[in-house]
């Protein structure tokens, strides 16, 4: 349905493994990122969403209906992290925003440690992803801009296996993911994909 109303270009969806646990790690610019990333993915996605969003009756119901589960921001939410790892070990595809929140000025934020911990504990491939123009939803609806989603080559489990299971290791994983997302952003900006 999203494709009917918005100009939408995706590339690299073939990099998403069709079976087994996988993390789709994307930048986050707008509230609409999860449904667009879900529409572009070849897999059913599960999502982390800030706990406060589940307090709104209808919106909370919609979040649950579309596979979202709560995470407490600003803390190391062990329950949310455990749920994410559990889903990945069950072979699900999980959408994560390494920055932990939306970037209001289109610049990237530092990745949170939780994404590194989830990736290390689950030991699954990570597909870096860049979404462009979701913040300009009205312009994409009016067909003046195109929403672009670019999936990149996965970060493999073999690389994760070499990273220590500690704070510095989690930080390094997050930084590698953000580095890959930045490279995808450059490809989109240069129309090189």
Question: Per residue in 6-43, pLDDT tens?
Answer: 567 899 999 999 999 999 999 988 778 888 899 899 89
Architecture in CATH for domain 2-189: 3-Layer(aba) Sandwich (3.40)
Say yes or no to pLDDT of 127 above 50.
Answer: yes
DSSP string, 87-141: HHHTT-EEEE-TTSS--SSSPPPPPPHHHHHHHHHHT--EEEEEEESGGGHHHHH
Say yes or no to pLDDT of 1 above 50.
Answer: no
Domain boundaries, the chain: 2-189
Question: Rounded distance, CA 24 to CA 7, Å?
Answer: 22
Question: Per residue in 75-102, pLDDT tens?
Answer: 778 888 999 999 999 999 999 999 866 6
Question: Rounded distance, CA 51 to CA 44, Å?
Answer: 21
Give phi and psi for 155, each to the nearest 5: -85, 120
Predicted pLDDT of residue 33? 87
Question: Per residue in 139-161, pLDDT tens?
Answer: 555 666 788 999 999 999 999 99
């Amino acid at each position: 349905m999203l494709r009917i109303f918005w100009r939408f270009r995706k590339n690299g969806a073939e990099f998403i493994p069709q079976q087994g646990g996988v993390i789709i790690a994307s930048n986050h610019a707008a509230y609409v990122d999860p449904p667009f990333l879900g529409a572009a993915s070849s897999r059913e996605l599960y999502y982390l969403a800030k706990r406060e969003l589940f307090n709104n009756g209808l919106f909370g119901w919609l979040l649950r209906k579309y596979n979202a589960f709560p995470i407490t921001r600003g803390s190391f939410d062990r329950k949310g992290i455990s749920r994410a790892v559990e889903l990945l070990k069950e072979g699900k595809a999980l959408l994560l925003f390494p920055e932990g929140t939306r970037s209001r000025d289109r610049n990237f934020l530092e990745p949170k440690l939780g994404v590194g911990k989830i990736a290390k504990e689950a030991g699954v491939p990570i597909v870096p992803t860049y979404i462009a123009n979701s913040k300009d939803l009205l312009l994409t609806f009016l067909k003046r801009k195109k929403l672009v989603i670019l999936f990149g080559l996965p970060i493999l489990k073999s690389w994760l296996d070499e990273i220590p299971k500690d704070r510095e290791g989690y930080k390094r994983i997050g930084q590698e993911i953000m580095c890959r997302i930045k490279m995808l952003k450059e490809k989109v900006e240069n129309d090189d994909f």
